[in-house]
C-alpha cells in the first residue's frame, strides 16, 4: 500500500494549487512539500517533523489528518514486511547458491553423520559387564596356576593291614614313616597317602594286606 503522498498530490492538483501557493499559504518549505508528496521521510530532520507537516498539509487540502497518519503508519508496516520478505529471499538464495557450490561436501558430511550415528547405536546395544571392586581387587591368576588347577588331582591310596600273628611291620608313605612296630594278632592298621606305600613285614605269613580295598598277595614279595 502506498503512503499518503500520492493522495496529497492528487488533492493539490484537483484544487489547482501550485507548490509555490501551498508554500506561501502554509509556510511549509517547498522541499518539505515535495517530500510529503513523495513519501520521503528522510527529507525531514526527524519523523516528528514529517508527521506535524503531514497534518498541516492534510488540513490545508481539506483531508482527514488522522487518515493520512494511518496511511503513513500502514505504509511503514508494508515496507517492513517487504524488507523482511526480501531478506528471507536473499537468505534462501544464498543458501541455494551455497548448496550448489558445496553439494558434494554436504553429502559427504551427511553420510559421515549417519555412520557416526549407526556406530553410536551399535555401541549402546552391545551388552556390557559391570565389574565390582571385589573383582578388580582379585589377584591375577598366572597361566601356570591355571594349568596346575586344571590338572587332575591324584587319587588317594588306601592301605589296610591285619595281623594274623604278632608281626613286626614298617609303613612309609608320602616319604614319611607312618608306622613301625609289632602289630599284635587281630590288630589292624589303616593309612592313606597320595603316593605309593613302602611296606616292610617281618613275617609275611602273619599279615593280610589290602590296597585300595583289594587284597595283595604278599607271598610273592611286596
Q: What pairing do the DSSP bridges indicate for beta strands 207-211 and 197-201?
A: unpaired
Q: With respect to CATH, is domain 1-127 assigned 1.10.10.10? A: no
Tell me how crowded residue 160 is: count the other CB atoms within 10 A of its CB: 18
Distance between CA atoms of 178 and 97, rounded to whole angstroms? Answer: 101
Report domain extents, the chain: 1-127, 157-220
214 — phi, psi (to 5°)? Answer: -120, 135
pLDDT by residue for the chain (222 residues), tens digit each? Answer: 478 999 999 999 999 999 999 999 999 999 999 999 999 999 999 999 999 999 999 999 999 999 999 999 999 999 888 788 887 777 777 877 887 888 788 888 988 899 999 998 998 888 765 555 555 555 566 667 676 666 666 578 888 889 899 989 998 887 888 889 998 999 998 988 877 778 888 888 888 888 788 888 877 654
Contacts of residue 222, defined as CB under 8 A and 6 or more positions apart, other chains included, come to 199, 200, 201, 204, 209, 216
- Lateral strand order in the sheet of 214-216: 188-193, 157-163, 207-211, 214-216
pLDDT tens by residue, 89-117: 777 778 778 878 887 888 889 888 999 99
Question: pTM of the full predicted structure?
Answer: 0.39
CATH tag, 157-220: 2.60.40
Amino acid at each position: 500500500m502506498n503512503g499518503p503522498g500520492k493522495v496529497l498530490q492528487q488533492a493539490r492538483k484537483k484544487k489547482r494549487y501550485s507548490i509555490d501557493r501551498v508554500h506561501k499559504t502554509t509556510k511549509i518549505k517547498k522541499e518539505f512539500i515535495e517530500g510529503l508528496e513523495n513519501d520521503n521521510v528522510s527529507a525531514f530532520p526527524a519523523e516528528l517533523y514529517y508527521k506535524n507537516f503531514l497534518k498541516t498539509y492534510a488540513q490545508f487540502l481539506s483531508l482527514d489528518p488522522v487518515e493520512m497518519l494511518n496511511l503513513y503508519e500502514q505504509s511503514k508496516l508494508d515496507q517492513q514486511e517487504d524488507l523482511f520478505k526480501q531478506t528471507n529471499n536473499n537468505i534462501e538464495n544464498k543458501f541455494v547458491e551455497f548448496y550448489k557450490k558445496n553439494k558434494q561436501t554436504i553429502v559427504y558430511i551427511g553420510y559421515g553423520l549417519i555412520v557416526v550415528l549407526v556406530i553410536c547405536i551399535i555401541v549402546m546395544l552391545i551388552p556390557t559387564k559391570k565389574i565390582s571392586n571385589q573383582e578388580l581387587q582379585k589377584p591375577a591368576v598366572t597361566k601356570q596356576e591355571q594349568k596346575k588347577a586344571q590338572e587332575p588331582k591324584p587319587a588317594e591310596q588306601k592301605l589296610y593291614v591285619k595281623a594274623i600273628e604278632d608281626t613286626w611291620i614298617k609303613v612309609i608313605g608320602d616319604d614319611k614313616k607312618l608306622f613301625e612296630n609289632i602289630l599284635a594278632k587281630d590288630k589292624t592298621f589303616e593309612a592313606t597317602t597320595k603316593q605309593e606305600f613302602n611296606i616292610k613285614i617281618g613275617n609275611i605269613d602273619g599279615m593280610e594286606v589290602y590296597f585300595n580295598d583289594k587284597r595283595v598277595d604278599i607271598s610273592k614279595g611286596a
